[in-house]
Amino acid sequence: MRPEELYLNDIVESREIAVHEYFAVNWRVVWVVAMCIAAALLTLSDFSGTFASGFYPGGMTGFDISFPQCGCDYPDAPFDFGIVGVTRGRAFSRNPCLASEFAWATGHPLAPSLYMNLQYPIGATAPKGMTGPKGKCAKADKVCQAYNYGWNAAQDAFTYATGQGAASDHWWLDIEIANSWCAKPALNAQVIQAAIDFLHSQGITVGIYSTKRMWNIIAGSFAPALDIWVPGASSFATAPDFCTPAYAFGGGSVSLVQYQSGGFDAPEACP
């Protein structure tokens, strides 16, 4: 082989080595990046486990206020999140202090969430279930009326909240026996499902505020499988005792537990 051929051969061989090393190094980079992504996903997965049902970090505490606090001082103790009532104890009613209470709830580690009261179409607001997403209901069609009522009630609360500058991607439905409900849980379930459906249509995550006993009386076996906020704890220290399946209902898990602090309702996030 002539010297120039040796030189050319060395060039070709060097280029082949360089190409081989380039791809080896780059595959190494790809592998490292892939491992980093996998580790990050694993870390996020582990971190998400510290969140109660994916919304409130476990152990965080807050306050919830609504129309009873109108004209009163709002909680001023340090807290992580605020929850504000949109309605005035019943569907199609309005908390006149919503704007100021929502402003109070902002500026904390977690964005505020909202809640609304709900009931079956009984009394003066019952006609609000006669038309809606199910169309115009026949007088005897209680399923149609119940669904329209729940949808319209949630829409009314959402519209009012928006007009008051109160926006949140997380709402709670307050389901209590203090309000009027049908003796047939299946019809009550239609009301609740419709409110859930409307809020979901707005991209909102929905949770349920109630107790296992009240839920069973009102909704029976209805199981929407949502986050649960339960009252009943006597203190911050006892709140975690309620974060168990024994207090859950409707196919969901307990996310928040309510106790009293300084005369206010103070929910604590489950670990």
Q: Is the pLDDT of residue 44 over 90?
A: no
Q: What percent of the chain has pLDDT over 70?
A: 80
pLDDT of residue 27: 37
pLDDT reported for residue 143: 98
Given a cut of 50, whether residue 29 has pLDDT beyond it is no
DSSP the chain: --HHHHHHHHHHHHHHHHHHHHHHHHHHHHHHHHHHHHHHHHHHHHHHTTEETTTEETT-BEEEE-GGGTTSPPP-S--SEEEEE-SSSSTT---TTHHHHHHHH-SSSS--EEEEE---S-STTGGGGSSSTT-SPPTT-HHHHHHHHHHHHHHHHHHHHHHTT---SEEEEE--TTS---S-HHHHHHHHHHHHHHHHHTT-EEEEE--HHHHHHHHTT-----EEEE---SSTTTGGGG-SGGG--TT--EEEEEEEETTEEEEEE--
Summarised one tens digit per residue, pLDDT across range 122-168 is 999 999 999 999 999 999 999 999 999 999 999 999 999 999 999 99
pLDDT tens figures, 83-102: 999 999 999 999 999 999 99
Please report the pLDDT score of residue 56 as a whole number.
82
Q: Indicate whether 47 pLDDT > 60.
A: no
Between 21 and 242, residue with greater pLDDT: 242
**pLDDT exceeds 60 at position 245:** yes
Which tens digits make up the pLDDT trace of 155-198? 999 999 999 999 999 999 999 999 999 999 999 999 999 999 99
Check pLDDT > 70 for residue 244: yes
Provide the pLDDT for residue 35: 36
Q: What is the mean pLDDT of the chain?
A: 84
201 pLDDT more than 70: yes
Note the pLDDT of residue 271.
Answer: 87
Segment 11-17 mean pLDDT: 40
Share of the chain above pLDDT 90, in %: 75
pLDDT tops 70 at residue 1 = no
Q: Confidence band (pLDDT; 50, 70, 90) for 64?
A: very high
Q: What superfamily in CATH does domain 51-269 come from?
A: Glycosidases (3.20.20.80)
Q: Which of 14-18, 155-159, 189-193, 243-247 has the lowest mean pLDDT?
A: 14-18
Q: So where are the chain's domains? A: 1-48, 51-269
Question: Distance between CA 128 and CA 43 in Å, rounded?
Answer: 49
